Amino acid sequence: MLKPGSTDFLSNASVLITGGTGSLGVTLTKLLLEKFRVRKIIIFSRDEYKQLQMRHTIADPETRVRYFLGDVRDPDRLRRAFEGVDYIIHAAALKQVPAAEYDPFEFIKTNVVGAENVITAALDLGVKHVVALSTDKAANPINMYGATKLCSDKLFVAANSYSGLKPTRFAVVRYGNVLCSRGSVVPFFQAMRLTGALPVTDKRMTRFWITIAQAACAVLNTLRDMYGGEVFVPKLPSMRIVDLAQAIGPECELREIGIRPGEKLHEVMVPLESARATVEFPDHYVITPDLHRMTRDIYLAKGKLCSEDFQYSSDRNDQWLSPEDLRKSIEEHESSHIRVEGW
């Protein structure tokens, strides 16, 4: 279970979500409207058609949701959008691993330069808290996408040193594959099931999995609990790719096609090199910043320091997702009902 908590910290607040028309942005918007007394939610994204679709999806009788066309590559547009904003959730990114290998310059412009632009604008406009979304592929990256996200993570952690006397604080939340998100393996397997065969890159492969609702809770937990400079890592179940394929298409043949360029056999969310800075809690880990010892001391007073040989990887997990759990999560997602406990 992800940590529940009070919703009061966002009362009468203005929240902006970059990349807000994505799967997570839509879920966060629904959750904020249903559970929180926010003053305004700003959806900042570059696709006008997705914004139109989201307007038809989101029920907002109080007109608290505003739509702002723009790109994180454009610092002037970000400054205009951040006027009067209290909290920012930075979800905008280019994410497809094969595309990053083919078009690396574009990924750098959005994932790295875009992160710098968000940081600078947030500092200049006095935003309170900024949470950036990361990925398991940013831990010991071997592909271009993971490398750009690791760079982004480092930028957001270091940004706290630039705050000075300003109120702005930055943190990162890192999690694994999101079930049923756009472009993920679950909808791909659902479409391929009609052919009678499902392609798997390697039958030994494992991944961390999180539902859209859990991801939204992890982001909001981070937004509330952060001090500045941390990387929050929720504890998640793993699943073998062959179990996932058999859960979606039990009647299908599995065809092993080999690992793609930039793909790992297993994913890591807390690498060995970060173990000495990682504090464990019942439902998550916090990688504390090296540059801010006071932040680490705060967490050490509350949690348990991990051993120096600790590594949080998908193949050595003590939580595993069963095919039945997976099918239940897919059914809940397809029902369009956000099931969130605690908030």
Q: What residues pair up with 170 in beta bridges, in sequence order? A: 130
Please report, for residues 137, 138, 143, 204, 280, the alpha-carbon distance to residue 264 in angstroms, rounded to integers and kept in the order given. Answer: 9, 12, 9, 11, 25
Report yes or no: 252 and 245 within 8 Å, Cβ to Cβ.
Answer: yes
Report yes or no: 24 and 51 within 8 Å, Cβ to Cβ.
Answer: no
For residue 265, give the DSSP letter: S
- How far is residue 38's CA from residue 32's CA, in Å, rounded to a whole number? 7
Report yes or no: 134 and 152 within 8 Å, Cβ to Cβ.
Answer: yes
Neighbours of 179 (CB within 10 A): 25
The DSSP string of 277-322 is GEEE-SSEEEE--TT-HHHHHHHHTTSEEPPTT--EEGGG-S-B--
Q: Which value, to the nearest 10 degrees, does the dihedral of the CA atoms of residues 107, 111, 114, 116 take?
A: -130
Nearest of 284, 274, 167 to residue 217 by alpha carbon: 284
Q: Is 137 tagged catalytic?
A: yes
Catalytic residue among 30, 50, 137, 149: 137
- How far is residue 269's CA from residue 136's CA, in Å, rounded to a whole number? 5
Active site residues: 137
